[in-house]
Amino acid sequence: MPASSRKPRRRGALRGAARAAQAREVLKRLLAQYPDAHCALDFQNPYQLLVATILSAQCTDKRVNMVTPALFKKYPNARALARARPEDVEALIKSTGFFRNKARSLVGMAQAVTEHHAGAIPDSMDALTHLPGVGRKTANVILGNAFDRNEGIVVDTHVTRLADRLGLSKAKSAEKIEAELMPLFPRERWTILSHLLIEHGRRVCDARKPRCAECVLADICPSATAGPPGLRGTA
Ligand code: SF4
């Protein structure tokens, strides 16, 4: 079996100064590697990003981007979506999966935004997480990408896996992982950090077949199954 296709071994989390130094180095290298990392969902305003993020549960961003143009054309704002018939929304979002639940969440969210926020998507963690279908992860996406506010770190499956493999957090819940990552990184980098880890998870640190031999973090990663390209075969 080639080294690059082996699953990384689980190692313990780094501690104290070593963990802080690891975080700094990971951020520095991933910023250099992915200078254009950004939110992969297409949106032009907070309403569109909130709708797209709700649709992205259990679905690829690419698929979401295929359905949202027609959805936004028919329902250009929260007030319009609040008046929608769920079955009409379902027909437009069917290919994203779980479409009945998602349609219910979308219309419920839009009704709450219309009723309690005069039709404007709120820009606080508290108000966002009180909307139907909006949890902390979704709220972090909206605050960081639509409002430029670093209130927290989006922890999805990629961030969870990379935080674990890189020794930054071995916690199991998204809340705990987020709480452990936040003090390790400058606040103004919290939003881009998620994009960087997600990008690296998609391109290199695959869940089943991480490409450690091509990874720019291989020499500092406690889970690497191969050394960095320049050092391989020199031992
Ligand atoms: S971060 Fe890089 S070296 Fe570490 S497990 Fe993932 S691909 Fe391998």
The CATH code of the domain that includes 141 is 1.10.340.30
Length of the chain: 235
The finding on whether 205 has its CB within 6 A of some atom of ligand 1 is yes
Nearest Cα residue to 171 out of 182, 157, 160, 159: 160
The answer as to whether 235 is a domain residue is no
The CA distance from 137 to 202, in Å, is 19
Q: Are both 170 and 112 inside the same structural domain?
A: no
Cα Rg of the chain (Å, integer): 20
The CA distance from 102 to 87, in Å, is 11
The answer as to whether 97 is a domain residue is yes
Res. 203 pLDDT band, cuts 50 70 90: very high
- Residue from 217, 219, 225, 232 to probe ligand 1 pocket by mutation (most atoms less than 8 Å from CB): 217
Q: Are both 70 and 104 inside the same structural domain?
A: yes
Instruction: Please list the active-site residues.
Output: 137, 156
Structural domain for 19, as ranges: 3-37+156-227
pTM: 0.89
3-state class (DSSP) for residue 135:
coil
Structurally, how many domains does the chain consist of? Answer: 2
Q: pLDDT tens digit string along 15-71? A: 888 999 999 999 999 999 999 999 999 999 999 999 999 999 999 999 999 999 999
Catalogue the long-range contacts made by 58-64 (C-beta closer than 8 Å, 24 or more residues apart).
58/97, 58/98, 59/96, 59/97, 63/95, 63/96, 64/96
